A and B are shown apart, each in its own frame.
Chain A
Amino acid sequence: MTNQTEATFTEEQLLLAFRYVAAELPTDEAEEFEQQMLTQQSLCEAVVQASSLSSLIASSTPQLTVQHPKVQLDVAAKTSVVKSSRKSRSLLMTVISACLCVLMLSAINRTDKGPASAVSQTSENDDAELLMSVWANEGEESVEPSLDESELLSDELDVPDWLLAAVTISSSEYFADEGAEL
């Protein structure tokens, strides 16, 4: 049996059928349209065409319009927060590692030169440069103790006071306890 279409529809009927399947018709008009469909097969055919065509067009929509803009903003914000959080954590670990390295180097220096002598100014400057260069390398996962001088920071970077204090802490303050222990 062929796919017989017993009645063709007019353009006006097609538009009316489209508005019907689009739920645009008021309730009373929709009910009247359904009543008319019982006696006019052309209106039924128009509904078939309108329903098929609009469903096909809607299903072929690019997915860009699927997500609500607010959802996209939320996702972007969360992603940014997560990235920022990871970045901060990585930086913190880097700084802590650098501080420990400095302290260890200072301890080794003290051991070589004798417990009574203070850490030399040159060593302190090197430590400061080391920590500042580490601070400059944001987002890097590992600390390179032997950083080149070419990787030093520019003047624009704002190094926190606590970091500087950690580098320039005097041997008398730091090793006083160790001396007592020894």
Chain B
Amino acid sequence: MPHDAENRRLVEQACVDFERDLRAFLLGVLRDTHLADEALQKTVIKGLGAADSVNPETVRGWLFKIALNEARELKRGISRQGRLKKAVWESLPTGAGMEEHDAAFYAVTNEQKLAVQQAMSRLSEDFRQVVTRRIQKGQTFAKIAEDMNRPLGTVLTWMRRALIELGEMAEIRNLSNTE
């Protein structure tokens, strides 16, 4: 059926266009690169199988729902292993042990590192401290609040603002728009 073929092409194209965001989403949900890859494959297969029911205007949201369901199904199987207790950045493969496949998606170039460092340098000192301590040093927000002698709510607010500001910075936007 022509309509089905058109929908299938639509879904195929959407999988290509949204692959990076889908992978980041699945990595955030599963916090394991291999599981994220597996979930992405299952998402593509299931999406292509259900292409006849897709609404072209909401294909992105539709794919994300499929991805979330696939991820949750995987999580049910491994939740007892404690593999979901780490943060998303702790699950990233390191340069030394990174396989070629992983490197294609998760490796950060020196140019990208520089862009991030430049963006971080433009944050206010308090915001930068909170981000550095939380992500790069792995401190909890409670510990950060204690060390900086600030209420926990203030630290969370700073983190929230820092994430917004970083996301809006040109350096970060350019990284998101490449590929």
Contact = CB atoms under 8 A, between A and B. Distances in A.
Interface of A: 1-7, 11-12, 14-15, 17-18, 20-24, 34, 37-38, 41, 44, 47-61, 65
Interface string B107-123: 01000110011001000
14 contacts: A7-B61, A11-B160, A15-B159, A22-B134, A23-B85, A23-B86, A23-B88, A24-B141, A44-B68, A54-B88, A54-B135, A55-B89, A58-B92, A59-B112
Given A1-B14, A54-B89, A55-B92, A18 B159 contact: yes
A37 B25 CA distance: 11
A18 B25 contact: no
Interface of B: 10, 13-14, 17-18, 21, 24-25, 27-29, 31, 58, 60-61, 64-65, 68-69, 72, 84-90, 92, 106, 108, 112-113, 116-117, 120, 131, 134-137, 140-141, 156, 159-161, 163-164, 166-167, 172, 175-176
Contact of A57 (B65, B69, B106, B131): B131
A91 B106 CA distance: 51
A49 to B, nearest CB: 6
A7 B60 CA distance: 10
A51 B106 CA distance: 12
Q: Is the interface of A mostly helix, strand, loop or mixed?
A: helix
B143 to A, nearest CB: 12
Given A54-B89, A57-B116, A60-B116, A44 B31 contact: no
B14 A58 contact: no
B167 A22 contact: no
B112 A14 contact: no
Contacts of A52: 21, 24, 176
Contacts of A21: 28-29, 31, 87-88
B87 A65 contact: no
A48 B24 contact: yes
Contacts of A65: 136-137
A173 B135 CA distance: 75
B89 to A, nearest CB: 3
The 7 closest A-B pairs by CB, nearest first: A51-B28, A58-B89, A21-B28, A59-B108, A60-B116, A15-B160, A60-B113
